[in-house]
Structure 1
Amino acid sequence: MSLQAQIIKTLDDGVARGAVAGAVFGVIDRDGRVLVEEAVGVRALGLEQKMTKDTIFPIFSCAKLITAIAAMQLVERGQLRLDEPLETVLPELAHVRILQDDLTFKPAVTKITLRMLLSHTAGFSYSSNPKLAKYLDVSPLAVPELSGKRKDVLETPLVYEPGTSWEYSVAMDWAGEAIMRVTGLTLEQYCEQNIFQPLGIRDTSFSLTPQQRENLVGIQIRKDDGTLAPGDFSPFPFVDNPEYQSGGAGAFGTLSSFLKILTTMINGGIGPNGARILEESTVKTMWLDQAETFPLAKEAIRNEDIDINSFYTGVKGTGRGWGLSFQLNLTQLPTGRSAGSGTWIGVANLYYAIDPVKGLATALFAQSSPIFDTAVCRLFAELETAVYDDFTEA
């Protein structure tokens, strides 16, 4: 059976068993050849529109890679510094305080750098942090950071001393803010000029156009009985009415376009069309394990309780590192993905993986809640296994 036939069968099986209502999956190699790209199912339950390769997704935290690429371009140009205090660009960072367990504050001693923001070692968190949730008076399951309001992202305190731990956070929103400050452009304007246009991408943005909205995917909710039900984007108000452009979660686009961006991370900064958007040395910097750069944060970075690979492989002990915006796996995964590969997610069950050893990038775009839906994770593992089995046979 050809790889394409195997992928179609696996996706169809996923729809049949209720893992997804619809999804798009794709594989691209470092030379920019799309090996497989298939869409199955429907855009939303209760609607007749089929899922297609042109379907627009809120890509949520997959946007962090785009923001990191933009920030590193500005490092190359000398407009940002990776390891110098960023308060020269963002004066607010000089005044952020650390939230204590008793909900009092203490000043931070260490200056926050861009590297800390890109590696989630700056001291910020999300409201899923129990201490921060208590301070904000929200449920840890709430996501006020996706409200589309600037204050809900950039006015939250630190939860630890910068550089001393690792915690997934709003740090990439601060990085996006730095990009806008030094360039005088919106995040969308900057990325359009320096990432999207050079790579030939025409359908990715940080705000929905009317045409994109017509092609927007719907979201499903996994019920207690395991079935999917129609949902809406009310938990994610930024989808309908963003007040600012979020570098951490605010982009929209197709899987096709995201594959082009992934190619640059396995081809030394060069896209499928031959356009260079990053120097090879910069890409190598993004792949460095920041556990070695921040020894005080090493234990937190290595914490396998939050290893996303274990969610879709069911295996712990693969080793966890962190690059500049994505997780690293330190040993080969059961699916066949190489040691030293990278991966990350979007909260509505979007998954990508980048393998610089074998020169492959894969992505599965679904749209359901909650995050790390077991059924979707299993589907991604099955798809990735099929890809690597075919690669080995070839």
Structure 2
Amino acid sequence: MILDTAQSDCLDAVIGIRPGEALDRLRRQRDKVREGVESSFQALFSPDGPIGLTAGERLLIALHACRLSGAEGLAATYRQALDLLPDEANPTRRIEAGAPLDDRLAALMAYAETLILNPIQGDQAALEALKSASLSTGDIVALSQLVAFMSFQIRVVAGLALLAAPVAPAHASDHDASNVLQPIDAHPQVVFTLEPLAWSPWLDTVDPAAATDNQLAVLKDSGPTATQSPYYLTLVHQPEILRHRSNVFNAIMYAPRGLSRAERELAATVVSRINGCVYCGSVHARRYEQLSKRNEVILQLFADPTTAGTTDRERAVIAFSVSLTLQPERMAPTDIAPLRKAGLDDLEILDLIHSIAIFAWANRLMLSLGEPRSTKRD
């Protein structure tokens, strides 16, 4: 692997979690998530993985994502890994020496910056720029997965750091919720709905009839309808990354105990609303409605997440989801206090962190690789 640590996994290494301590015991209650995250990390950063991006490119993109997000601890980890590469394989050496970015690296960095900072601007034109830089469909899928995983990892690290901190008393948040939605509301064409939607890819999909045995196995494991899903048939261009990403998603959204299924779907809808992902918003709002047998909070959320919620618990879950989505680098232990005051225990908070983070990942794939469309006939 590119990043070699003595810790049991990449997140333990970054946060400094020691075996047997409270946060380690908590994480082990979600072993499938823990293992899936580490497997995803290895699939994305292993030097012998089937990814059309060099080790130096992948690490530089990860470093760039961390710096853009203010994730200093993670940034130091990826910078250290870059420094272990030989000079000819380390693009930071050339950049810091003043060499201009070549067209390929410039396209990679620009695409990563868009997905990290404003994923709603990931569009077909962005993919065409990558194709112009000679990236194949498989390369583009790998790049999107890599950047989306970094968005996930950054938020999990931020959330775990909050859980590792001493318990803080509840008081008013330092964040001003009245202005957090400006980037999203600047796009009036984004209209959220409870109506079922379809999703159309901007890239060629894998034909199931021509898929490899490995691709078919990954599709089968991803879900009962994956072989008919344009989304999965796009992602399966990189089957190993998809395999581990599906494992993480399922382990987060369907784990027993802890946060209720409905509240996980509520968090997914919040993140999708903030990121401007209409398709994910529709799917997970309807799942919330099915599980909770009510939708008034969804209608409030679609209108204005900063004021949504019918109970203190809902308002706490929504506010935390907004903050971790928009500004993980600014989170403080006081941001968890309202969750605890509303009755969430640490396992429920961990599930909430995971649910928020996985939709930082999912939204970026949906927004960057295709677009939603209505299923209604004219």
Note whether the superposition's TM-score is higher than 0.5: no
Structure number with the higher strand fraction is: 1
Structure number with the higher helix fraction is: 2
Normalising by structure 1, we get a TM-score of 0.28
Normalising by structure 2, we get a TM-score of 0.29
